[in-house]
Structure 1
Amino acid sequence: MKITRIETYVCHARMRNWIFVKVLTDQPGLWGWGEATLEWHTKAVVGAIEDLSQLLIGEDPRRIEHLWQMMYRQHFWHGNGIVRGTAISGIDIALWDIAGKIHGVPCHELWGGRVRDYVRLYCHLGGGRMEDFYETSPADANRFAALAVQAVEQGFTAFKSMAVPETMSLEGLQPVKYAEACVRAMRDAVGDQIDIMVDCHARPSPRMGLLFAKALEPYNLYFFEEPCWPETMDDIAMIQRAVKTPIASGERLVGVYAFREMLEKRAVSVIQPDITHCGGLTEARRITALAEAYRVSVAPHNPQGPISTAASLELGFATSSYIICESVHQDVPWRNEVVNEGFSLQEDGRLIFPNKRPGLGIEINEEEVKKHPFQTEILQRTFYKDGSVGDW
C-alpha cells in the first residue's frame, strides 16, 4: 500500500480559510481527511504541505509514526514552527483517518478504546472584538449577560467569553472593573450551575494578567485562559500559584517539548493543544500522555473547521484526562453542508456521543467546498490609544 497523492482544499469560512488535506492511496476508495487551518497563513501552509508531500509519496500510509518522524526531522529544519507544525498536523490527522478505515474502526478504538460515554462541548460567546465596546458604557455587562443566556438556551452548560479588554503593559483600575462587571453579569444571569471561562487571548502583560485573575477569582471560573504571553512561562506559573482559579494555556504551542516546559513549571491546570497545530493526533497523544503524568486536564483549542472537531473528539474518547471540547456551531450557516459526520449530538447539555464509523467518521463534500473558494482573511490590526502596537 502506498501514498499516491496529497491534495489541499481551501474553503473560505468567514473569519478563516479552512485548509482540508486529503491523502490518497493506491487502494481504490481509500483516502484520509485532515485539517491544517491557520488564519492569515493559508498560502504558507498549503505550500508547506506541498513541500512535505515530497517525503511521503510512495510511502506506506500505515507507518504513521515513521512518516511523522520523517516530516518532523528531515529537510534539516525541525517541525517546531507554526506553519510547518500545522502542515504536519493536517497530514498526520489524515493518516490516522486512513488507519481507522483500514481496520474498520473509529480512531479511538486504535488507541485503546473508549474511556467515556460522551464528550461535553462548550461554545464561545463571540460578538466580535470586545474591546470595541470598552469605551461605551456599563451596558456592555448586560450584553455579555444576554449572550450567556442565549448560550444556555442553546443547550450549553459551559461557555467562554473575551470579557478582558485590551490593555497596555500597565493600566489603572478601569479595565479591571470593566472585566469584573461583565463576568459578574454573566454569573448572575446563568447561576452557579453553568461553567464560565474567560479568554484573555494572551493580551495582558503578566502584571495585568494577575490583576485580572485576582479580580475575577470570586466568580469561580471553570478556567482562566492565556492570562499573558506563552513565551513568559514563568509568569503564567506565577499567576497559577497566586489564585485558586484554574489557569489554561497551550493553544499557541507546537510540539511536546513546549508542553514539557509548561508542565515542568506547573504553569497551568489545563493544557489546550490545538490538534491542527501541535503536530497532529500523533503528537497530541504524546502531549496528553505527559499531561496525565502531571495530573493536568486537557481541553483542546478548536475554533477551526469540522475535521479539526472530529479529530479533537476522537482524541477525547480515548484520553482520560480530557475534560471538555471547544465547539464552533454558528461560524457559517452552511457548515453542515460541507461535512458528513458520524457523531451524534444530544442538544440538552451539548453532549457528543461516540462516532461509530471508521477513522474520523467524516467525509468532506468537495463540491460544496468549491462554492467557497479562498479569500484573503480580514487583516486584524490592534493599536493602543497612543498608537503603539497591541496584541490582537
Structure 2
Amino acid sequence: MRISDVATVVVGAELRNWVFVKVTTDEGLVGWGEATLEWQTRAVVGAVDDLRPLLLGEDAMRTEHLWQSMCRHHFFKGGIVTMSAISGIEQALHDVKAKTLGVPLYQLLGGSVRDRLRFYDHLGGGDSSAVYETGSPEAFGEAAASSVADGFDALKILAVPVGAPLSGSAGVRLAVARMAAVREAVGPDVDVMVDLHGRTSPAMAIRYGRALAPYDPWFLEEPTQPEDIGALRGIADAVPVPIATGERLIGRRAFVDLLAERACAVIQPDVCHCGGVAELKRIAALAESYGVAVAPHNPLGPVATAVNVHIGLSTPNLLIQEVMRVDVPWRQEVVTGELAVVGPSVGLPSASGIGVEVDEDAAARHPYAPEPQLRTLLDDGSVADW
C-alpha cells in the first residue's frame, strides 16, 4: 500500500486555523492528522508541501522509517514549523496503519493501561474570550462553576495578567482574587491548574506561586520561558506547588535536560509539535523514568484531541488530558466519528484508526482567515509576552 497524496485542509477557527493533514493511499484509504500552529498556518502548509516528495510512492505502513526520513533527509533540521508538519503527517500515517489493521490506534501503542481517560476543561469550555481575555474574579468563578456543572472535576485558568519582569502588587492581588473566586465556586475537591503562560520572569513566578499556594493549585504551568531550565528548577525549589512545562519543546532531546535537572513535576508535550504520536510516547517513557507525569498540551482542533485520546489510554504516566470543547460553536460539525464529541472523560474507543474523519464539505464552510494579531504591550508601550 503506497502513499498517493499528502495534502492539507485548513479550517478557520477564529483564534487559530486548524491545519488537518490528509494522507491518501493508492488503495483509497485516508488517514488524518493535525499540525495546527498558531500564527504560522501558511508556513506549516508550505512545510507539508516540502515534505510531500519524501512520501509519495512510499509504503504507508513504514511509519517509523518515514518519520526518520522526514526528520533526517533534509540537511537543515526542523524547528517548530517543520516539526509541526512532520507531527501532523506522522499522526495521519498512524491512522492509516490502524485502519489497515482494523484496530483503534491505542492498540498499536501497547494497548490500554486504563479504562477511561480524564479531561480537564478551560473556562468557557475553551471560548477564547473566557480563556485569554481579562476578566473579573466574579466572571472567573461563574465560568468555573459552569465547567463543574457540565461534569468536569478539573479545570485550568489563566489567572496571571501580562506584566513587567518585576510587577507591582496589583497583578498579584488580581491573580489571587481570581483564584480565590474559582476555589470558592468549585469547592476543595476540584483540581484547578493555573497557567502562567510564560508571562512571568522567574522572580515574579515565585511571587505568584507563593501567593496562590494557599488555594491549592494542582500545578503551575509555564511559570517562565521554557528554554531556561535553571530558572525552572529555581522556581520548582522555591514554590510549594508542582511545576508543569513543555508545550513549546520539540523532540525528545529537548526534554532530557529538563528531566535530568528535575525542573518540573509534569511535562506537557504537544502531539502537533513535538514530533507526533511515537515521539510523544518516547518522551513520556523518558519522563516515566524520572517519576514525572505527562499532561499533553492540546488547545487545538478535534483531530488532535482524538489522537491524544489514544496516547492517553496507552501511556502509564498520563496524568490528565487537556481539551477545548467550544472554542468555536461549530467545532463538532467538521468531524464525524466515535470521538467527535468529548466530555469530562472518555472510555475505550472501538472504531479503527483515530476515531474521527474530517467532513471536508463542512470544513470548507470555514476557510482560512488570518489569525487576530495579539500585541501585548505594557503601559509604557514596551512588548510583553502573551
Bucket of the pairwise TM-score, normalised by the shorter protein: over 0.9
Q: Paired residue for 2:179, among 177, 183, 187?
A: 183
Distance, in Å, in 1 between the alignment partners of 2:35 and 2:133 is: 30
Residue pair 1:85, 1:254 contacting (<8 A) in 2 also: yes
**1:291-318 deviation per Cα after TM superposition (whole angstroms, max 9, x unaligned):** 1111111111101111100111110010
Alignment equivalent of 1:389, drawn from 366, 383, 386:
383
Aligned partners of 2:113, 2:308: CA distance in 1, in Å? 14
Aligned-pair CA distance for 1:343:
3.4
Out of 89, 102, 105, the residue aligned to residue 107 of structure 1 is 105
Residue in structure 2 matched with residue 40 of structure 1 by the alignment: 39
Q: 1:366 aligns with which of 360, 363, 375?
A: 360
TM-score (norm 2): 0.96
Uncovered stretches (5+) of structure 1, i.e. residues with no partner: 135-139
2:357 maps to amino acid: E
Displacement over 3 Å in runs of 4+: 129-134, 343-347
The answer to whether residue 17 in structure 2 is matched with residue 17 in structure 1 is yes
Q: CA deviation at 1:200?
A: 0.7
Residue pair 1:130, 1:163 contacting (<8 A) in 2 also = no
Structure 2 segments unaligned to the other structure (5+ residues): none
Cα drift, residue 339 of structure 1 = 0.7
Counterpart residue type for residue 234 of structure 1: G
1:224 to 2:225 alignment: no
Paired residue secondary structure (2:312): helix
1:290 paired to 2:286: yes
The corresponding residue for 1:95 is 93
Q: Is the 1:118–1:352 Cα contact (8 Å) retained in structure 2?
A: yes
Could you tell me how far 1:219 is from its partner in structure 2?
1.2
- 8 A Cα contact 1:198 1:221, kept in partner: yes
CA distance in 2, matches of 1:176, 1:127: 23
Matched residue of 1:12: which SS? strand
Q: Secondary structure at the match of 1:119?
A: strand
Per the TM alignment, residue 389 of structure 1 is displaced from its structure 2 partner at its CA by: 0.5
* Cross-structure match for 1:155: 151
What amino acid does structure 2 have at the position aligned with 1:114? S
CA deviations on 1:88-117 (whole Å, 9 max, x unpaired) are 000000000011011100111012211001
Q: Is the 8 A contact 2:20 2:34 kept in 1?
A: yes
1:330 to 1:11, Cα distance in 2 relative to 1, 3 A? same
Q: Is the 8 A contact 2:340 2:356 kept in 1?
A: no
CA contact (8 A) 1:344 1:353 kept: no
Please give the per-residue CA displacement for 1:307-357, whole angstroms capped at 9, x wherever unaligned.
10011111001001001111111111211111113239785xx11112111
SS in 2 for 1:159: strand
Equivalent pair of 2:210/2:240 in contact (CA under 8 Å): no
The CA distance in 2 between the partners of 1:127 and 1:251, in whole Å, is 18
Counterpart in the other structure of 1:128 = 129
User: What is the aligned partner in structure 1 of residue 336 from structure 2?
Assistant: 340
Distance 1:82 1:217 in 2: 33
Q: CA 1:360 to 1:143, structure 2 compared with 1: closer, same or farther past 3 Å?
A: same
The alignment partner of 2:64 has SS state of helix
Q: How does 1:172-251 map to 2 (within 5 A)?
A: 172-251=168-247
Whole-angstrom CA distance in 1 between matches of 2:368 and 2:328: 15
Following superposition, the deviation at residue 243 of structure 1 comes to: 2.1
Change (3 A) 1:318 1:142: same
Q: Which amino acid is the alignment partner of residue 56 of structure 1? A: L
SS in 1 for 2:208: helix
Output the CA distance in 2 between the equivalents of 1:161 and 1:66. 40
Q: Give the match's secondary structure for 1:128.
A: helix
- For residues 332 and 183 of structure 1, the distance between their equivalents in structure 2, rounded to whole angstroms, comes to 26
For residue 258 of structure 1, give the secondary structure of its aligned residue in structure 2. Answer: helix
The Cα of 1:128 is off from its aligned counterpart by 2.8
3-state DSSP class of the match of 2:65?
helix
Superposed CA offset, 1:112-144 (max 9, x none): 21100111111111563888648xxxxx21121
CA, structure 1 residues 242+341, in 2 after alignment: closer, same or farther (shift >3 Å)?
Answer: farther
Please tell me whether the aligned partners of residues 131 and 165 of structure 1 are also in contact (alpha carbons under 8 angstroms): no
Offset, 1:379: 0.8
Q: Which amino acid aligns with 2:360?
A: E
**Code of the aligned partner of 1:39:** E
Q: Is the partner of 2:129 in helix, strand or coil?
A: coil
8 Å contact kept, 1:21–1:90 = yes
Query: What secondary structure sits across from 1:275 in the alignment?
Result: coil
CA-CA distance at 1:244 after TM superposition: 2.4
CA contact (8 A) 2:15 2:128 kept: no
Contact 1:141–1:182 (CA<8 Å) still a contact in 2? Answer: yes
Q: Does the CA contact (< 8 Å) of 1:272 and 1:301 recur in 2? A: yes
Per the alignment, residue 3 of structure 1 pairs with: 3
Once the two structures are superposed, residues 75-97 of structure 1 have per-residue CA deviations (whole angstroms, 9 ceiling, x without a partner) of 10122x11001000000000000
Report the TM-score when normalising by structure 1: 0.95
In 1, Cα distance between equivalents of 2:328 and 2:302: 11
After superposition, the CA RMSD in angstroms is 1.5
- What is the number of equivalent residue pairs in this alignment? 383
Structure 2 counterpart SS, 1:181:
helix
Which of 323, 326, 336 is the matching residue for 2:322? 326
Tell whether the 8 Å contact from 2:332 to 2:340 is kept in structure 1 after alignment. no
